[in-house]
Amino acid sequence: MQRSRYRNPFRVVCAALFLSTALLTACGPAGAPQDEGAPLHITVSIVPQEYFVQRIAGERASVTVMVPTGADPHTYEPRPEQMRALARSDAYLQIGVGFEYVWMARIQDANPDLLVVDTAEGIQRLTMEAHSHDEEEEEQEHDEELLDPHIWVSPRLVAVQAQAIYRTLAQLDPEHEGDYRANLEAFLADIDALDAEIRQALEGVANRKFIVFHPAWGYFAADYDLEQIPIEVGGTEPSAAALAEVITEAREHDIRVILAQPEFSTQAAETIAREIGGRVELVSPLAPDWLENMRTVAQTFAEVLGE
């Protein structure tokens, strides 16, 4: 009784706080007074990129994210008002997620003066391998050569992207190059510390294989000597046969936790977890506070792989 009496008002306060924050955020950029020299308007594809730009630009850039929280960057379709808002943007920072391939020409058309920068330039992409022991199927998937777009789950590769963001900001606003450089250096130091923290967390875990619904952690696995076993590949729901195979694999390697992410259905992961008497853990590659999220992710992986 006591508990529920206190819980409800707390929820109301939370909802009110959330709403007013949302309203403030919604009204903020247009209504806020412009500080000395118009700040830059930068558009990015996904939420973690907003964090990267803010780390380097500080107060000097407002950031617009095309794929909102909870949406799938592989298949997202921008709304008409988002396309119109591009007219006010100075630069678009690409990262190489699926929807860009479909929309980039239209994005460029919406603002011919837009500086388009590929922040993934120079990054060697991994191939998303089909999880299948069916020879014929496997061959087909390899032909498609699905390149893994999830380059932001690797601190090492985020450092490369941070350099590209710094160069873009310095090019658009050379007067503040020194600020951008100082911010870049602080961010790179945080990335180094994070990398060391992840290495330490994953040192000596019992199992180095993990099962995940959507294969977003390929670069993380590559950097930290883990092996990703995906349930879904190329955006398709797994067949009953594919599910059965993952279940066999889980039993073989004594895997008890199936990872999933909030942006996708957890149904397949739950089915497998039920079959193996295990459980589902959620990890998001798209959380807004990238640094904090990667720390949480490292802890989750350390727990899951240590079991």
Binding residues (CB under 5 A) for Zn ion: these are: 216
Is the Cβ of residue 155 or residue 230 nearer to Zn ion in the bound state? 230
Least distance from C-beta 228 to Zn ion, angstroms? Answer: 12
Distance from C-alpha of 168 to C-alpha of 208, rounded to nearest angstrom: 38
Is the Cβ of residue 47 or residue 216 nearer to Zn ion in the bound state? 216
Q: Which residues contact 218 (CB under 8 A, 6 or more apart)?
A: 126, 128, 148, 150, 228
Taking Cα atoms as reference points, which of 33, 85, 78, 93 lies closest to residue 59?
Answer: 33
Least distance from C-beta 68 to Zn ion, angstroms? Answer: 15
Least distance from C-beta 282 to Zn ion, angstroms? Answer: 14
Least distance from C-beta 111 to Zn ion, angstroms? Answer: 27
Convert the chain into a string of H (helix), E (strand) and C (coil): CHHHHHHHHHHHHHHHHHHHHHHHHHHHHHHCCCCCCCCEEEEECCHHHHHHHHHHHHHHEEEEECCCCCCCCCCCCCCHHHHHHHHHCCEEEECCCHHHHHHHHHHHHHCCCCEEEECCCCCCCCECCCCCCCHHHHHHHHHHCCECCCHHHCHHHHHHHHHHHHHHHHHHCHHHHHHHHHHHHHHHHHHHHHHHHHHHHHCCCCCCEEEECCCCCHHHHHHCCCEEEECCECCECCCHHHHHHHHHHHHHCCCCEEEECCCCCCHHHHHHHHHHCCEEEECCCCCCCHHHHHHHHHHHHHHHHHC
Is the Cβ of residue 187 or residue 219 nearer to Zn ion in the bound state? 219
Is the Cβ of residue 95 or residue 216 nearer to Zn ion in the bound state? 216
Residue nearest to Zn ion (CB): 216
Is the Cβ of residue 216 or residue 255 nearer to Zn ion in the bound state? 216
Is the Cβ of residue 73 or residue 155 nearer to Zn ion in the bound state? 73
Is the Cβ of residue 74 or residue 253 nearer to Zn ion in the bound state? 74
Is the Cβ of residue 216 or residue 226 nearer to Zn ion in the bound state? 216
Least distance from C-beta 78 to Zn ion, angstroms? Answer: 17
Is the Cβ of residue 71 or residue 115 nearer to Zn ion in the bound state? 71
Distance from C-alpha of 161 to C-alpha of 3, rounded to nearest angstrom: 47
Least distance from C-beta 264 to Zn ion, angstroms? Answer: 8
Least distance from C-beta 28 to Zn ion, angstroms? Answer: 29
Least distance from C-beta 73 to Zn ion, angstroms? Answer: 6
> Measured between alpha carbons, how far is residue 244 from residues 238, 240, 274 in Å?
10, 6, 12
Least distance from C-beta 150 to Zn ion, angstroms? Answer: 6
